[in-house]
Chain A
Amino acid sequence: MEFNMKNLKIVGVSHPIHDAEAKVRGNAIYTGDMQFAGMQYAAMLLSPKPHALIKSIDASEALALDGVETVLHCFNTTERTFSRFQKLSRQPGIMNQERVFNRELRQIGDRVACVVAETPEIARQAVRLIKVEYEELSFTTDVHEVLKGALAGMHPEGVSFEFEREMGDKSLVAQDCVETVTHSIMDRVSHAAMEPHACVAYYNKSMDELTIWSPNQGVFGVRTMIADLFEMQYHKVRVIKTTMGGSFGAKQDWILEPVAACATLATGKPVKVVYSREQVMLNTSCRAPYIADVKSKFTRDGLLQSLDIDVILDAGAYLGNTMAYIKYQSTLVPRTYQYPYARYRGQAVCTNGTTSGGLRGWSSGELCLFVEHNLNIVARRLDIDPLELRLKNVHMPWNKEMANNISLEEIRAKECLELGREKFAWDEKKQSDADFNLKNKRYQRGVGVSCGGHLNGYFPINFDFTGVEIRFTESGSAIVNVAVHDHGCGTVQAFKMIAAETLGLPVDMVWVAEGDSAYNPFDTGCYASRSIYVIGRAVKDCCHKLQEQLLQDMACVLSMPVEDLEIVDAQVRAKNDPSTCFSYTDAVHKILFTLQKEVSAKHQYKNTTNCGVMGTHFAHVEVDTWTGMTKILDYLAVHDIGKAINPEICRAQVQGAVVMGSGIALTETMHTNPKTGKSVSSLKDYHVMNAWEAPQVQVLFIEDGLTEGPYGAKSIGEASLVPVTAAIVGAVNEALQSDFCECPLNPDKIVALMQERMKKECV
């Protein structure tokens, strides 16, 4: 393992991402930029009603418009249903609840119809000419109403799903505990990836081949779902992942892909669909609103004994991924603290709100908020410093977690906390805040700390394997073929660096292909923080295999025992004879001409570990009690990253996560009006933090390089969001000596709290 940290030339050195030059020139091609001869453009009509049945559609005027190719809707397209969350063939536990165009519309923004036309303008103009007769149905956006029986008939298989589990051993819980109950609420959140969803599809009728280009997180998942929906063989559907302008989980549900496929299958022409921001917000997905109750038991000296967690998640119109989401959340419960017993109960409930989906961290950030909020209140009750309370309870290296009884290996929670305490000057800040708050009435300051444990990959919840192929070209460079889907955060560059480091090549002598279901070895998709830890590891192992193959082939060419050869600095050498020395390109040519062989290697990797990943975050805030505005004065994020493959990109991701999580804590809400069923659907009302408001974020990594990941790496992209909201909310509550957890804690809520306090004081 020592080797991991030493002698690295490329891994650990910051590099711009692979397509940075194209992006600064403006010539990186995103899906919305693609053009084909004869391309048609689709424009959508989305439901203005929260719940309705379509009685009739009259598209005659739209069809009469010059340039309109067709109008698609529920009466002329397939009645088969799909799940936007289908990732695997014969995937257990998913529900096919949606049609490409639904007849029963279950949310504002549900897909009613789509016009396919010669130009985007004509398509949009024609949409306005479609006449739809709706039969309005009763609707609700209140999960409690649904649990009482509203919307009973909306989905034949039911409108809610419940999951409960116990972990650990209840009999080990100490007697005489302090019991603390806390309640948290989170509102709907938009991923707000800057690139709106887009898809291009082309069905070549003569060849019976359908090709789909989209910025998606899993080409095989899209292929499977589309082929199943349109009853095609899997080899007839090819899905190509395009440059992705950010996902954060928004592009892991298949929504535009079935629309574009349906349109090209109907017309035999290439069709492009690009959503507007409003359509993204209303018809793709969001992070679900949550209601959560946490009951903790602590000994009086602050040792956690049990957690009892009850959550209700508003799935919106379709269950989508929510059943998997709450199950996944349960496995995260024991990944931060060591304690004897936990019970988790999750309910996913359909309403007529915007359909939810996975957002960065996949329930981990939500869980972290609920639990950390409880811990803060406990700390206050027991009069223990919040940081001390965490230090007493966080997992130590090689602890086993109780959900799946797997080892957390080199989890560095304690070190993260201690390093943060020092660098953030936790104790000093607490002291100076106390002085500041005494002297000030209007402004109040506070610090917050949070610990968020996360995962790397699916293991052991789902099977977690991937395939890689690497070949040498005749010029001595390497081509890595793997189903990676760069979300825009530099995975391709990280893979290039891993392969280059392992093979001893310069980075630009390695090319990494992205997701293409026609050529990649099978993979389950880039989710669950598995790209670096699982797929990256597979790439590294495959590089070793490639080198072994090269040595074996050269041994054959030279008629030498393979043991007498070695690879040093991208050269094949005889161990005892320095004059026998071939560069990769010479060796590859020798093998080609002598053995008539290409030097290539194939590798299938099955992940069987999931080490602990810890982020501890520290926030310092100042709340203006008059306006309710919160300013983040200082922020520190400490992560036990294992090894940062491309450090500046890792830091940039953590900083981006802090800005995102701060927005979720303070400003971002896709609030749904219960009277109309309409959610916020514009960036005018959905406030993402800009450069002016964003805090300065310090990032520290603890690197030990001791994991199964490539060069000892762990996950970071999702892990970095997990603790943020909890740290900010903790700091606000510390500043105000309040105990409320209703995200976002926007000025309205803070002012209301202050007014309530004033009223009480007056009485």
Chain B
Amino acid sequence: MRLEFIVNDKKRVLEVAADKRLIDILREDLGLMGTKEGCGEGECGACTILLDGKAVHSCLLVAAQMPGRQVTTIEGLEKNGRLDPLQSAFVEEVAIQCGYCTPGMILSAKALLLENPAPTETEIRRALAGNICRCSGYTQIIRAVERAAREGGADI
């Protein structure tokens, strides 16, 4: 099928199979390798992207669901060479170890902050419940989200 959609603010037109998974389209057709696959079944959250501003698992979506939609991947967060406040907060709060969960974690947090710019710890924990981090105990990640909410201002 012919797929026309917006990825990281750019219009993309592709010829793909209707049942090709979004994660494969992003990684294989568009070379956006920041989106990671950890399970392929909606359980780990490593593949999380923003679809029209909401956090979703790109391993569970297929091309046929995508025409006209807006996708943001981790590569699309940096604006004019400046990291998103969430990205800087993750670095500064030492919220990154192996980093495999990081893109998905940041995008789930992004969706939360877009909707709720001043979340409580409980709200953050709930919003990140679909993203597994095997390296940390989530403490630094939660702190990073709190910091981004606090310091991010209009950039979020």
Select from chain B the residue with minimum beta-carbon distance to A486: B98
Q: Mark A267-298, 1 if CB is under 8 A from B, else 0.
A: 00000000011000000000000000000000
Contacts of A14 in B (CB 8 A): 94
Give 8 CB contacts A-B under 8 Å.
A24-B83, A33-B33, A194-B46, A245-B100, A658-B137, A690-B128, A694-B137, A695-B137
Q: Mark B69-87, 1 if CB is under 8 A from A, else 0.
A: 0000111001000010001
Contacts of A490 in B (CB 8 A): 97
With A194-B38, A653-B135, A691-B129 as given contacts, are A24 and B43 in contact (CB-CB < 8 Å)?
no
Pairwise interchain contact A684-B41, C-beta atoms closer than 8 A? yes
Pairwise interchain contact A24-B87, C-beta atoms closer than 8 A? yes
Pairwise interchain contact B138-A659, C-beta atoms closer than 8 A? yes
Interface residues on A, range: 35 or more
Pairwise interchain contact B90-A659, C-beta atoms closer than 8 A? no
Contacts of B138 in A (CB 8 A): 655, 659, 690-691, 694
Pairwise interchain contact A652-B74, C-beta atoms closer than 8 A? no
Pairwise interchain contact B40-A25, C-beta atoms closer than 8 A? no
**How distant is A42 from chain B, measured CB to nearest CB, in Å?**
16
> Which stretch from A15-23, A74-82, A498-506 is at the chain B interface?
A15-23
Pairwise interchain contact A30-B100, C-beta atoms closer than 8 A? yes
Pairwise interchain contact B90-A20, C-beta atoms closer than 8 A? yes
Contacts of B34 in A (CB 8 A): 25-27
Pairwise interchain contact A195-B131, C-beta atoms closer than 8 A? no
Contacts of A119 in B (CB 8 A): 28
| Complexed CA–CA distance, A22 and B98 (Å) | 11
- B92: interface (CB < 8 Å): yes
Q: Chain A binding site: helix, strand, loop or mixed by DSSP?
A: loop
| Complexed CA–CA distance, A196 and B37 (Å) | 8
| Complexed CA–CA distance, A196 and B100 (Å) | 10
- A614: interface (CB < 8 Å): no
State the A residues within 8 Å of B (CB): 14-17, 19-30, 32-33, 119-120, 191-196, 243-246, 248, 276-277, 487-490, 648-649, 651-656, 658-660, 682-684, 688, 690-697
**How distant is A505 from chain B, measured CB to nearest CB, in Å?**
21
Pairwise interchain contact A26-B75, C-beta atoms closer than 8 A? yes
Which residues of chain B from 1 to 45 have a CB within 8 Å of any chain A CB? 24, 27-28, 32-41, 43-44
Select from chain A the residue with minimum beta-carbon distance to B45: A690
Contacts of B95 in A (CB 8 A): 652
| Complexed CA–CA distance, A113 and B95 (Å) | 40
- B91: interface (CB < 8 Å): yes
| Complexed CA–CA distance, A194 and B83 (Å) | 24
Contacts of A697 in B (CB 8 A): 137, 139
- B99: interface (CB < 8 Å): yes
Select from chain B the residue with minimum beta-carbon distance to A190: B134
Instruction: Give 11 new A-B contacts, CB below 8 A, not counting A276-B40, A277-B44.
Output: A16-B91, A24-B88, A26-B34, A194-B101, A246-B135, A277-B40, A659-B136, A660-B134, A683-B132, A691-B128, A691-B131
Pairwise interchain contact A655-B74, C-beta atoms closer than 8 A? no
- B102: interface (CB < 8 Å): yes
Pairwise interchain contact A652-B135, C-beta atoms closer than 8 A? yes
Pairwise interchain contact B100-A26, C-beta atoms closer than 8 A? no
Contacts of A653 in B (CB 8 A): 97, 135-136
Select from chain A the residue with minimum beta-carbon distance to B34: A26
Pairwise interchain contact B132-A25, C-beta atoms closer than 8 A? no
With A26-B73, A277-B41, A691-B142 as given contacts, are A649 and B129 in contact (CB-CB < 8 Å)?
no
Which residue of B36, B38, B135, B141 is within 8 Å of A691 (Cβ)? B141
| Complexed CA–CA distance, A75 and B142 (Å) | 53
Pairwise interchain contact B140-A246, C-beta atoms closer than 8 A? no
| Complexed CA–CA distance, A607 and B130 (Å) | 44
Which residue of B35, B88, B100, B131 is within 8 Å of A488 (Cβ)? B100
Select from chain B the residue with minimum beta-carbon distance to A26: B34
